[in-house]
Structure 1
C-alpha cells in the first residue's frame, strides 16, 4: 500500500480525504509516496493558526527563543540519519560522509541544518542607540512581522527551509512553509519532528504545487514572504506582494561565472572548481555555470577537471561510496538534455566527457564538460542547473570580466589565481551579491548572502539575516 504523507497545521497532521499528488524517486522512477494537497481553506487555516500562536511565541524572552532553537539543532542531530535517507531517496543526493573525505550530500545537508540552527541561536539583535546628545536619545528596536510565508525549493529542500524557518522563529515570527511538490516528504518529516519541540502553531507546513504557494502569498495576514526559486516565479510573487506592499526576500536564479586568471595553478584549483560547479549535480543556484579560463592554461584546466569528472562514481544515492546522483526531476532532466544536444547538433561546442543520458531507470545524466563554446550560446547564457559545465576561452582579463557581467543575473561569482592583489581587483569588478576568491559557493551562516540584478533582493544569514525577518521601530525621546 502506498504511504500517504499529510501536511501539518498547529502540530497536527491534516490531509485525510484530500486530493493527493505523487512523489517520485528520481533514481528509480518508482513511487515513494503520495502527499495530501492543501486546499485554499487549508492554507487559510494554517495562516490563522500561525497568527494565533505568534504573539505567545514573540512574548518569550530572547534567551528562551534561543534555547528553543538550540533544541531544534539537537533534534535535527538526533534524527539526522533518518532525514538524510529521505533526502537521498527523494531529492537524489548521495548520503555522502562526514569527515576528512566529506562528500557534500544528504548527510552534509543535515549537518548544515544543524549549523544554521546553532549559529542563529548564538546571535541576537539588541536594541541599538543610534543617536544621543543633550537634547534627545534615539533607539532602534526590532519586532517580528507576525506570520511569515516561506516557500522552499527542491534542490536543498531541508537546508534552505531551515534558512527560512530558523531566523524567522528566532525573531519571534510564526511560519507557514510551502515546500516544493517534488521534495515534500523529507520536509514534512523534518517539520513533524521539529514541531514536537515548538509550541503548536508556530511552525506549519502546507503542501502542493504553485497554486498552493499562490494562495499562501496572497493571504492578507502574511507579514513577509521568503522565497527561494526561479526568477520567473520570484517575479510573479513580487507582483503579488507589490499589490499589498508586503516585503519580500527573494533568492532567485543564478548563472554564476568563474574567472580563472593566467597565473592560476590548474592542479591546485581543480578540486575547488569541480565542487564549485558540480555540488548537488550542479543543482545549486550559486554554483559555477560558466567557467572562463585564460587561453594559456585552458587545456591544462580542462585536463585536470576531466580527470576528476571521470573518477567520480555516479549511482544509487543510498549506496555508500556514491558521489553523484540523478537530476531531481524529469523537467530539469529534459532541459539539461536539450541544452547539451542542441549545442552538439549545432556544432557550437565539443563534449570532452559525458554528454548523453545514462541508460536505465532514473534521471541520470553524467557529469559533462563542454569546450569551444562562447557567449551567446544557449548552454552559456541559460542557467542549465544540472551537471554540465561550459568552459570558455578568453585572451584578456578585461574580456572575461565583461563576459561574466553581461547577463542579467548576479547571485555569485568567483575569481581564481595566485596574486592576491589581482584577484581582489578582479573580484571588485564582478557584478554579483557574493564574489568568492579561490572558492565558490562557500556560504556561511554568519555571512550575509543575497543576489543582485534579476537574482533577487534582500539578504539572509548572520545578523543582517535576522534583521531582514523583523521590522524596525525607532523610539525617539526628547530629554
Structure 2
C-alpha cells in the first residue's frame, strides 16, 4: 500500500494564556454550573475549559438580546456598520493571534486557518460597504404610474439563531453574523463547543470596537440540552452543518412558520476535461481535495478524469499527494493538518477500510498517522471505487478522494449529478467558455472553473449555497444580508381611486381600464 512521504515538522508549543481564555469565556451565556474541557487536536492535551449553557441560560440570553436589538434597530445603518469597518484593520493587526487560536482548536494547517481569516475580513468588509445601499427604502412601480406610489422597506427579523459548525468556526460564525447584525438584528450564536474560542475572540474584539454588549450572545452546549430553546425562541434560524441536522431544524421551526437558511452536506465532483493543463490541474486538485484535511463541505470527494488524460494526470496527482507535508507547527510549513474530532477519524478510517475490503485500490495514503498526532490521517487517493462502498455516495468529510475515468461530456454530467447533494463542483479546462457551458449542466449551487472552491466561495458579490439536499437559501451577495430582513410594501394611492368615480358606471370604467392597459403597453409604461 503506497503512502505519502509525510513528516511532522515543528510542534504546537504555544498555548493560550489563561487570562485570554478567562476573558473569552466570560462572553458565554452561562451560570457556570457545568463546564467542558476543549482538547487540542494536535496533541490531545487540554487547551481550555469553558462554561456550558443550560436551557435557562439560552432563554435568558434571548431576553437580553431582544432588549438590545430594539435599541440597535433604531440606529441608522451607517451607525450599525461602524464596528465592522473598524474590524478589517483590527483583524489584520491581530492576525497572528487569531490564526493561533484557529489552529489550536481545530488542528488545521495554518494556510487553511488563513482562509478563515480572509473570509471574515473580506466578507464583513463587503457588507459594511454595501449594507446601507441594500437596506435603503426602494421605490417600486405602482399599479397606475404616477397615481400609485410604492415603497419597499426592509425591517430586521428580530433575534436570529445562528448555529455554526466546527470545521470552519471563525469563518462560518462571524461572516454570517456580521450581515445579520448590520441588518438590525440581534444574534444568539451557538458555535460547536470544541471550536468556540475563535468566535468568542472576534466577539470580544467587536465589543472593543464599539458593538453594544448583549447584541451578540454566545451559548455553548450539546443540542440535546440547548437545541430546543435555541430554535423555539428564534425569529430566524441560520444553520450550517449536516443534512440530517438541517432537516431536524426545518421540522422544528415549521409549526411556527419561522424562516431559515441551511447550508448542508456535499459529495462534490471535479471534472478534468481532455484539454486540461495536467500540472495546473494536479496541483489544484491537491488543494481542492485536502484543504483542512478534507473537512470542508465544498471540498472535492469525487474526481472524474477524461480517459485521454487519465494515465498522464493520475500519476502526477498521486506524486504530489505522496509528497504532502503534514505537521502540527503554528507556521505555514505544513500542507495539511489534523482532523478535529476522533469521531471524524473513525468515520474516515471506516470508509477507507470498507472500500479496500470491497476492492478499491489505494494509490496514496490509506492509514492513520498517530506518530504525528492522535487525529492525523494521510491524504488518500482511491481508484476502483463502486456503489457497493459507503465512500462512493456518502459524504466522507475527510482527506479522501475517489478517482473515476469517463469518456464524454454527457456521461460525466450524468455521473456528477447522480447524487442527492448539490453544493459545489469543479471543472478544469483550457477553454473557459467550454467549461462554463459544462458548468451550467451541473446541479450544484456553485461551480468553479480551474479552481476547486475558492473562486466561487470568495466572490462575495455572488450568492453561495446548495441545491437538492445540500441546502436552502444562500449566503453572500445581496441575499446573504436581505435574508435576515422582513420586506414590507407601503403603497399610497393619489388623485384617482381604484374604483369608478361616482358618475361613471362599472362597465365604462372596465372599458377604460382595458384601453389603458393597451396604451401603457404601447408606450412601454408597463
TM-score between the two structures when normalised by the length of structure 2: 0.85
* Structure 2 counterpart of 1:352: 363
Structure 1 stretches of 5 or more lacking a match?
97-104
Task: Indicate which of 465, 469, 482 corresponds to 1:450.
Answer: 465
| 8 A contact 1:24–1:30 mirrored in 2 | yes
Quickly say closer, same or farther: Cα 1:259–1:13, change in 2 above 3 A.
closer
* Structure 2 counterpart of 1:106: 113
- Equivalent-residue separation in structure 1 for 2:225 and 2:24 (angstroms): 14
3-state SS of paired residue (1:384): coil
| 8 A contact 1:294–1:395 mirrored in 2 | yes
Task: Indicate which of 244, 255, 259 corresponds to 2:267.
Answer: 255
**Alignment deviations for residues 251-277 of structure 1 (CA, whole Å, 9 cap, x no partner):** 001111111112222112222222111
3-state SS of paired residue (1:370): strand
Query: Higher mean Cα deviation, 245-254 or 77-86?
Result: 77-86
* Structure 2 counterpart of 1:93: 108
Q: Where does 1:38-437 land on structure 2 (aligned, <5 Å)?
A: 38-96=53-111, 105-124=112-131, 125=134, 126-132=136-142, 133-196=145-208, 197-220=210-233, 222-347=234-359, 349-360=360-371, 361-375=373-387, 377-437=389-449
3-state SS of paired residue (1:149): strand
3-state SS of paired residue (1:193): helix
- Equivalent-residue separation in structure 2 for 1:472 and 1:376 (angstroms): 49
Quickly say closer, same or farther: Cα 1:167–1:254, change in 2 above 3 A.
same
- Equivalent-residue separation in structure 2 for 1:259 and 1:13 (angstroms): 44
3-state SS of paired residue (1:250): strand
Deviation, structure 1 residue 14: 4.9
- Equivalent-residue separation in structure 2 for 1:392 and 1:376 (angstroms): 15
| 8 A contact 1:44–1:219 mirrored in 2 | no
| 8 A contact 1:8–1:206 mirrored in 2 | no
3-state SS of paired residue (2:425): strand
- Equivalent-residue separation in structure 2 for 1:478 and 1:317 (angstroms): 67
Query: Higher mean Cα deviation, 264-273 or 379-388?
Result: 264-273
3-state SS of paired residue (2:127): helix
- Equivalent-residue separation in structure 1 for 2:440 and 2:50 (angstroms): 46
- Equivalent-residue separation in structure 1 for 2:28 and 2:446 (angstroms): 40
Deviation, structure 1 residue 195: 2.6
- Larger % of helix: which? 2
3-state SS of paired residue (2:352): helix
- Equivalent-residue separation in structure 1 for 2:225 and 2:185 (angstroms): 21
| 8 A contact 1:433–1:449 mirrored in 2 | yes
TM-score between the two structures when normalised by the length of structure 1: 0.93
Quickly say closer, same or farther: Cα 1:12–1:182, change in 2 above 3 A.
closer
Query: Higher mean Cα deviation, 386-395 or 272-281?
Result: 272-281
Deviation, structure 1 residue 169: 0.7
| 8 A contact 1:315–1:324 mirrored in 2 | yes
| 8 A contact 1:121–1:170 mirrored in 2 | yes
- Equivalent-residue separation in structure 2 for 1:235 and 1:3 (angstroms): 39
- Equivalent-residue separation in structure 2 for 1:376 and 1:257 (angstroms): 19
Structure 2 stretches of 5 or more lacking a match?
1-15, 495-526
- Larger % of strand: which? 1
Deviation, structure 1 residue 464: 1.9
| 8 A contact 1:6–1:14 mirrored in 2 | no
Quickly say closer, same or farther: Cα 1:7–1:448, change in 2 above 3 A.
farther
Count, aligned residues: 468
- Equivalent-residue separation in structure 1 for 2:22 and 2:254 (angstroms): 32
Deviation, structure 1 residue 458: 0.5
Moved over 6 A (4+): 6-9
Quickly say closer, same or farther: Cα 1:16–1:421, change in 2 above 3 A.
closer
Quickly say closer, same or farther: Cα 1:376–1:171, change in 2 above 3 A.
farther
| 8 A contact 1:178–1:213 mirrored in 2 | no
- Equivalent-residue separation in structure 1 for 2:486 and 2:356 (angstroms): 51
2:40 aligned with 1:25: yes
- Equivalent-residue separation in structure 2 for 1:136 and 1:428 (angstroms): 40
| 8 A contact 1:327–1:386 mirrored in 2 | yes
**Alignment deviations for residues 307-362 of structure 1 (CA, whole Å, 9 cap, x no partner):** 22122210114244122110111111100011111111111x11111001113342
RMSD of aligned alpha carbons: 2.1
| 8 A contact 2:286–2:317 mirrored in 1 | yes
- Equivalent-residue separation in structure 2 for 1:2 and 1:244 (angstroms): 44
Q: Larger Rg: 1 or 2?
A: 2
| 8 A contact 1:123–1:462 mirrored in 2 | no
